[in-house]
Amino acid sequence: MPESPEEHHESEQPLDEYELRLGAALRLAGDAYDADRHALVTGGTTRGRRMRMRRRAAVVAGAAGVALAGVSGALLVPWHGGSGPASAAASVGAAPRTAHATASPAPVTGAAMVRTLEKLLPKGTFAHVGSRGSDEEPTGFPYATVVYDDGKGAAGISVSLNRVVPGGTDARQAVTCPDKVAIPYDACTSRRLADGSVVMVFQGYEYPDRRVDTKRWTADLVTPTGQHVSVSEWNAAQEKDSPVTRSQPPLSAAQLTDFVAARAWRPLADAVPEDPHQAAEPAPESGGAPIVGTLAALLPKGVHVVTRSRKSEDDAGSYAYVVVDDGKGRSLVQINVQPDMSDVAGDLFGSGDETLADGTRVAQHQGPGDKGVAGVVMWTVDTLRTDGRRVVVSAFNSGTQHDAATRAAPALTMQQLRAIALSPQWLSAG
């Protein structure tokens, strides 16, 4: 049976909770933004207790909310349902996961990861950078990184292995293309292979603001039994702080597909320890209607919606955006609705912030947007109700987080952002 390509999507963006995926996401976007203790402005998601714990850790650590929202293909990326890669990934979940649950395979060593990586690459020279086996701390997720030279210049190549719940949130997100409103890239495709696996190939940049020309191309494959293989390559010997050595990374999109889909990775992925918390993925905590519709309905008169995220921006329905234009240029407006956030109130609000008569806490911030993008500003109203529900709304004076300013100020005033964030409609949506 021939491979049947799925429809190409520049889909609504992500969140991977594992260390390697988290690191990859932060490498993709983290250096492009300034850290802010009022983090997770647009990116938090609430997929069960594990995601809440990581979200809270990010708040305490001061991870940039804009950075998290801007990570595409990974971290806090919005996703849509329906046809295409997301549904293809869901179909992957039809296969039972008996092979993983019934045995404890021998650990895979870091050396085995390096050997497999080098064996699958075209002829060239290698320098070993680093590796880890499945039985090593802190995570047990095996990876290998080498510097590879095919005669056209040195290039960093990294591969990591993981296991995800078939058909679950992580499986879908791993193979769904990011939204270009959040992440700039040249190309992204996602398709289902003949064996039921789904593979996404992403061709983008190490720095979303393109301040240097380091390209980062990735491929992610999820099998019907939940094996997740992820590979990244650069047109430099290292992903950051290394001069560009070639015009393109060494593997083409087709070669990346062959590499990530190689059968040699499958038994090695089986050595990743079972995560007991993944056995039964919880249902989304929020059952409200897609919040993008609520956001659009709350916009002031005279503001025209140019584009919007499809449905909800993640499986929990916690994030959405609209790009609006009031006749003076495009402006990105984002919202995050998060339940059960009372335990991080101290990290989000200070003594100088406002407390309303009903106990709702309100903080307002006006400052620069993305580091490296001249003239971009970000205005934010952050609210926390007494039941722990957080609603935070931000607006930019640009149509994306990573493009130059298109206007002097965001299309919405601080008072209008405040009215949206405090609307009672969020008590039943998102």
Please report the DSSP string for 285-317 in residue order: S--SPPHHHHHHHTSPTT-EEEEE-SS-SSTT-
Instruction: Check residue 192 and give its pLDDT.
Output: 95
Instruction: Check residue 284 and give its pLDDT.
Output: 46
pLDDT band at 181 (very low <50, low <70, confident <90, very high): confident
Average pLDDT over residues 26-43: 33
pLDDT band at 311 (very low <50, low <70, confident <90, very high): low
- Scanning the structure block, which residue is given the tokens 């407390």? 355
Res. 319: pLDDT tops 50: yes
Res. 14: pLDDT tops 90: no
For residue 28, which amino acid is it? L
Q: What is the pTM of this model?
A: 0.65
User: What is the spatial distance between Cα 181 and Cα 5, in angstroms, rounded to a whole number?
Assistant: 24
User: What is the spatial distance between Cα 429 and Cα 287, in angstroms, rounded to a whole number?
Assistant: 8
User: What is the spatial distance between Cα 75 and Cα 14, in angstroms, rounded to a whole number?
Assistant: 5
Instruction: Check residue 110 and give its pLDDT.
Output: 92
Contact 305, 38 (CB under 8 A): no
Evaluate the omega torsion of the peptide bond into residue 138 and state whether it is cis, within 30 degrees of 0: yes
230 DSSP β-pair partners: 160, 220
Instruction: Check residue 109 and give its pLDDT.
Output: 92
339-351 pLDDT per residue, tens: 999 999 999 999 8
pLDDT band at 66 (very low <50, low <70, confident <90, very high): very low
Contact 84, 6 (CB under 8 A): yes
228-273 pLDDT per residue, tens: 999 999 999 988 888 999 999 999 999 999 999 999 999 999 988 7
What the chain holds in terms of domains, given with CATH numbers, is 19-70 (no CATH), 85-278 (no CATH), 291-427 (3.40.1000)
Average pLDDT over residues 402-427: 94
Instruction: Check residue 37 and give its pLDDT.
Output: 29
Instruction: Check residue 372 and give its pLDDT.
Output: 62
Res. 101: pLDDT tops 70: no
Res. 172: pLDDT tops 60: yes
Res. 184: pLDDT tops 50: yes
Contact 85, 9 (CB under 8 A): yes
Instruction: Check residue 272 and give its pLDDT.
Output: 87
Res. 221: pLDDT tops 90: yes
pLDDT band at 277 (very low <50, low <70, confident <90, very high): low
Res. 130: pLDDT tops 50: yes
Res. 79: pLDDT tops 80: no
Report in angstroms the alpha-carbon separations of 133 from 138, 222, 268, 335, 376: 10, 20, 10, 40, 43
Query: Token pair of 14, please?
Result: 């992500």
Res. 1: pLDDT tops 80: no
pLDDT band at 396 (very low <50, low <70, confident <90, very high): very high
Q: Which range, of 92-106, 157-171, 199-213, 247-261, averages the lowest pLDDT?
A: 92-106
Res. 64: pLDDT tops 60: no
User: What is the spatial distance between Cα 11 and Cα 41, in angstroms, rounded to a whole number?
Assistant: 21
186-219 pLDDT per residue, tens: 999 999 999 999 999 999 999 877 788 899 999 9
pLDDT band at 369 (very low <50, low <70, confident <90, very high): confident
Average pLDDT over residues 376-386: 96
Instruction: Check residue 298 and give its pLDDT.
Output: 96
Instruction: Check residue 136 and give its pLDDT.
Output: 77
Res. 150: pLDDT tops 50: yes
Res. 28: pLDDT tops 70: no
